[in-house]
Structure 1
Amino acid sequence: MTAFLFTSFLGALFIGLPVVVALGGASLLYVWLQGDLPLLVVVHRMVNGIDSFPLLAVPFFIMTGNLMNSAGITDRIFNFAIASIGWAKGGLGHVNVFASVIFAGMSGTAVADAGGLGTIEIKAMRDNKYPDHFAIGITAASSVIGPIIPPSLPLVIYGVMANASIGQLFAAGILPGLLIALVLFLWVAIEARVRGYPRDAHFTWVRLARSTWRALLPLMTPVILIGGMKSGVFTPTEAAIAATAYALLLGLAVYRSLGWNRLVRVSMDTIETTSIVLVIVAGASIFGWLVTTTRISEQMAEAVLSVTENRALVLLLVNLVLLVVGCFMETIAAITILVPVLLPLVTKVGVDPVHFGIIMTLNLVIGLLTPPVGMVLYILARIAERSFEYVTKSVLPFLVPLFVALAIVTYWPSFVLYLPTVLYR
């Protein structure tokens, strides 16, 4: 019956059914064939799966990213990044990464970063005669920072599924996010020296002061969120509401760049995306419950530990599994399915659940840059008006620095857990 549960789920995915139909359908068939439980338990478990206070953060973080994009705030962030670091060799490559670091503190998703900043970044790099493969590759790679630096939508979902502190997960994502930015800065610097990319802006204090003044209020978003959570003014869930209110204030009252028609469109996009996310969480809840009650996760842990109890090897195996899954499955769906399976395994070899949350999220968002399901690749193919194959080839070299960052995050737990320890423990 356990084999039937996974076979029916994978079979449904293979024939092209949506993830939520595969999850719910496989679970429903399992319960029906077992005959021990009423079929209504499937509905109850799905409802209970989304009856969670932390999940209230989902629609608000999604709407915040949409508002920032629609209100023209991304332009202010990009201009500030040019004034700050555009003077370096390969300047717009560095600007690309720096802008993603700033925008990560507002959007929380790689897709919002690629779709919002990507349009501006690729056009600017083309205008300055950068080759398309470099512009596309660095735009894709820098979008990975979005789900790591708080606020992060995947970390909210992981916290709910793993029963882990979302505040600690947010704190744990800050240093790894900055690490990804650092390795990408180094990669751009090497590319710029080898290929002779120019400096794209002369540094002047006047220009920096003007761009800082124009971007000051958007730049305060992560400060408000992290400061509010640390001081106890609001919880991570309430921080999502505060972020949305702040974005609305900027778009409607301060900059007046967000009209009512655009606000309605943003609201509809948010509702659509939120519905997709929550339906996936609901379907994964019953699937995860069956995995737990049938002791599948414990049996898997025992099977792996019977081969090796070496923590480094177990983490290597888990990373390989996550990278492969990330190639074929959307991040949130993968988190909701795999947390009940993999978390018991890694905790048995002494991995902190908060540390594992960062490992899992980073692995899966790297999957957004790999075919066949890499959502960021499809977005950039549309923005750059290039073929999916061309975009994929452009991104492949930039996976190298991301894998370096992943290795450091995986095998240096004290680096990841430093801020959660200081702030929460």
Structure 2
Amino acid sequence: MSGTTIWLFGSFFLFLCLNMPIAVALGLSAALTLLLFDLPIQSLPGTMVSAMTGFTLLAIPFFFLAGLIMDRAGISRRLVALAEKLSGHYTGGMAIVAVISACFFAAIAGSGPATMAAVGAILIPAMVKAGYRKDMAAGLLATAGGIGIIIPPSIAYIVYGVVAEASIAKLFIAGIVPGLLVGALLALTGYIIAKKENIPTQPKASLRELLQALLDATWGLLAPVIILGGIYSGIFTPTESAVVAVFYGLFVGLFVYKEITLRDLPKILLESSKSTAMVMLIIAAASTFAWLITVEGIAEDLAKALMSIASDKYTMLLMINLILLLAGMFVDAISAFYIFLPIFLPIIDQMQIDPVHFGVMMTINLAIGLVTPPVGMDLYVACGLAKLSLKEISIGVIPFIIAALVALLIVTYVPQISLWLPNLMGMK
């Protein structure tokens, strides 16, 4: 292993241990490596700027904005109410409601933390009131929030598509079945826990109540149909779909549900700008880190080292999963794509692993990272909503992490789960 590799990764993990923000740790370790090894430091600004100016990445701020608008418009609350009427009366009904609601909102927001915040704020108190343990409710919602980056539209797929030069539309449709599989296993786990702990069921909704909830949620249910339908029919691109989602959310919030006023818009814009700025700063810093990994031959050396350990595809996929699970404890999904894809892409190309299948597998892996301490973002959002310590929620989240890991293994070794739907639609 070269001195450049040791210094680059060593300084990065040192900065993380010093509790520096991930973007700062990435950018600073790359800059110091350039300086210490007499590499072209003047390439730093250009690399950072070019990484942030791609047309495809415009989808990120618009999906952030769309998610916030649709939450403020009352769409998430109505989707939760519909899910409760549909399944609240079954054993583990509220746990099933949580997963269904997360899937609904994931098909709108494209972000794990956004899904967690929108659905968790409503459902964690409701689940506790229904008899669920607070740590179990928060753990379930934190893990279900990760579905936000698995089910399309997903900011994670956009970043993966940009870095790996893969079809974002194909990634979107490939994520549908795996996302539903993760949701089904989380709901099953919630059902088992509810049955074991004898948690009471909710009263069954009447047909009239069910129809009323369906009517109230219609505009929310139409959102993913319009967004994804427009992409798959070729009416607009994934980037343009994010803009459509913003205007659709504004229309519903201002003129249909009337829960947003023009006075609310500056606050919504400011909040989405903060989220966008954080992500774009990570992309800028991570792109420099990734550029250095590539031009210095670090990616090639690490890829060769991995292939010397695991010569067959199945062992390699297991090893990659273990690396990503460990990385997910310390870095966010976007950083992980930029750090690890330059290393993994030559491997999957040589082993003839479909890049779309690999993208879905990697995204599920990093969704699990959203709920693994010490850096799991969804875990901290859930802690804040449930007013629990990290230690308390870490106990409640364990069964759901296990369920997500089972889904990850299935998706990893049965690629048709990801590729069946794109192949059925004849996508190339």
1:138 Cα deviation (Å)? 1.8
Name the CA distance, whole Å, in 2 between partners of 1:17 and 1:380: 22
Alignment partner, residue 5 of structure 1? 8
Alignment of 1:59 with 2:52, yes or no, is: no
Decide which of 11, 14, 22 is 1:19's aligned counterpart.
22
In the superposition, the TM-score normalised over structure 1's length comes to: 0.96
Decide which of 286, 310, 332 is 1:308's aligned counterpart.
310
Deviation larger for 239-248 or 293-302: 293-302
Q: Does the CA contact (< 8 Å) of 1:77 and 1:99 recur in 2?
A: yes
Matches within 5 A, 1:270-349: 270-349=272-351
| AA in 2 matched with 1:382 | G
Alignment of 1:191 with 2:190, yes or no, is: no
| AA in 2 matched with 1:273 | S
Alignment partner, residue 32 of structure 2? 29
Write the deviation string for residues 172-202 of structure 1: whole angstroms up to 9, x where unpaired. Answer: 1100011011112222222232222222131
Alignment partner of 1:190: what SS? helix
Alignment partner, residue 79 of structure 1? 81
Decide which of 375, 378, 381 is 2:377's aligned counterpart.
375
Name the CA distance, whole Å, in 2 between partners of 1:202 and 1:2: 60
Name the CA distance, whole Å, in 2 between partners of 1:204 and 1:151: 33
Write the deviation string for residues 341-377 of structure 1: whole angstroms up to 9, x where unpaired. Answer: 2222233222111111111111111111111111222
1:229 Cα deviation (Å)? 0.8
Q: Does the CA contact (< 8 Å) of 2:67 and 2:110 recur in 1?
A: yes
Alignment of 1:128 with 2:140, yes or no, is: no
| AA in 1 matched with 2:28 | G
1:13 Cα deviation (Å)? 2.3
| AA in 2 matched with 1:385 | K
Change in 2 beyond 3 A, CA 1:371/1:206: same
1:388 Cα deviation (Å)? 1.9
Alignment partner, residue 116 of structure 1? 118
1:36 Cα deviation (Å)? 5.1
1:137 Cα deviation (Å)? 2.2
Name the CA distance, whole Å, in 2 between partners of 1:381 and 1:5: 33
Name the CA distance, whole Å, in 2 between partners of 1:24 and 1:281: 10
Change in 2 beyond 3 A, CA 1:112/1:36: closer
Alignment partner of 1:369: what SS? coil
Write the deviation string for residues 316-346 of structure 1: whole angstroms up to 9, x where unpaired. Answer: 1110110111111122222222211222223
Matches within 5 A, 1:360-371: 360-371=362-373
Name the CA distance, whole Å, in 2 between partners of 1:283 and 1:44: 12
Q: Does the CA contact (< 8 Å) of 2:136 and 2:393 recur in 1?
A: no
1:295 Cα deviation (Å)? 1.8
In the superposition, the TM-score normalised over structure 2's length comes to: 0.95
Name the CA distance, whole Å, in 2 between partners of 1:215 and 1:360: 32
| AA in 2 matched with 1:158 | Y
Name the CA distance, whole Å, in 1 between partners of 2:27 and 2:422: 35
> What's the Cα RMSD here?
1.5
Change in 2 beyond 3 A, CA 1:90/1:2: closer
Change in 2 beyond 3 A, CA 1:201/1:145: farther
Deviation larger for 402-411 or 69-78: 69-78
1:98 Cα deviation (Å)? 0.8
Q: Does the CA contact (< 8 Å) of 1:297 and 1:345 recur in 2?
A: no
Alignment partner, residue 217 of structure 1? 219
| AA in 2 matched with 1:221 | A
Name the CA distance, whole Å, in 2 between partners of 1:135 and 1:17: 31
Change in 2 beyond 3 A, CA 1:133/1:22: closer
Alignment partner, residue 229 of structure 2? 227
Q: Does the CA contact (< 8 Å) of 2:131 and 2:200 recur in 1?
A: no
Structure 2: give runs of 5+ residues left out of the alignment.
Answer: none
Q: Does the CA contact (< 8 Å) of 1:298 and 1:345 recur in 2?
A: no
Name the CA distance, whole Å, in 2 between partners of 1:198 and 1:279: 47
Name the CA distance, whole Å, in 2 between partners of 1:265 and 1:158: 30
| AA in 1 matched with 2:420 | Y
Matches within 5 A, 1:235-250: 235-250=237-252
Structure 1: give runs of 5+ residues left out of the alignment.
Answer: none
Name the CA distance, whole Å, in 1 between partners of 2:27 and 2:196: 52
Name the CA distance, whole Å, in 1 between partners of 2:395 and 2:130: 22
| AA in 2 matched with 1:64 | A
Name the CA distance, whole Å, in 2 between partners of 1:421 and 1:286: 35
Alignment partner of 2:201: what SS? coil
Name the CA distance, whole Å, in 1 between partners of 2:380 and 2:38: 43
Name the CA distance, whole Å, in 1 between partners of 2:55 and 2:272: 18
Q: Structure 1 stretches (4+) deviating beyond 4 angstroms?
A: none
Name the CA distance, whole Å, in 1 between partners of 2:197 and 2:90: 14
Write the deviation string for residues 286-336 of structure 1: whole angstroms up to 9, x where unpaired. Answer: 211121112221211211212221111111111011011111112222222
Alignment partner of 1:47: what SS? helix
1:204 Cα deviation (Å)? 2.4
Alignment partner of 1:328: what SS? coil
Write the deviation string for residues 218-252 of structure 1: whole angstroms up to 9, x where unpaired. Answer: 10111111110111110011111111111111111
Alignment partner of 2:202: what SS? coil
Name the CA distance, whole Å, in 2 between partners of 1:6 and 1:144: 27
Alignment partner, residue 351 of structure 1? 353
Alignment partner, residue 420 of structure 2? 418
Q: Does the CA contact (< 8 Å) of 1:82 and 1:201 recur in 2?
A: no
Name the CA distance, whole Å, in 1 between partners of 2:207 and 2:18: 58
Alignment partner, residue 253 of structure 1? 255
Name the CA distance, whole Å, in 2 between partners of 1:284 and 1:398: 30
Q: Does the CA contact (< 8 Å) of 1:309 and 1:349 recur in 2?
A: no
